[in-house]
Amino acid sequence: MRRLPPEMPPGWALRVTPNHRLRLETEAEPRDTAPGLLSEMVRFALSLDPYLERLEAAGVGNAKT
């Protein structure tokens, strides 16, 4: 997990919560429409996939969304 934060996109923050879960935080511009919000969520999920695979390969818990 220590290797991931420097490799993550700008604006993404990976944290460990008090109950030892990983929390990924980022911000996005507000969207005016439901399709705009949905497209932003899909874009984020697609961007997240390679990092989840790295966490899973490193044996970090159950890397799930």
User: Domain map of the chain by residue range?
Assistant: 4-57
* Contact by Cβ (8 Å): 53, 61: no
**Mean pLDDT, all residues of the chain:** 81
> What's the whole-model pTM score?
0.62
* Contact by Cβ (8 Å): 41, 3: no
Identify the pLDDT of residue 26: 86
Strands (E) in the chain, as ranges, are: 13-16, 22-25
Identify the pLDDT of residue 29: 84
- Please determine, for residue 2, whether its predicted confidence score (pLDDT) is greater than 80: no
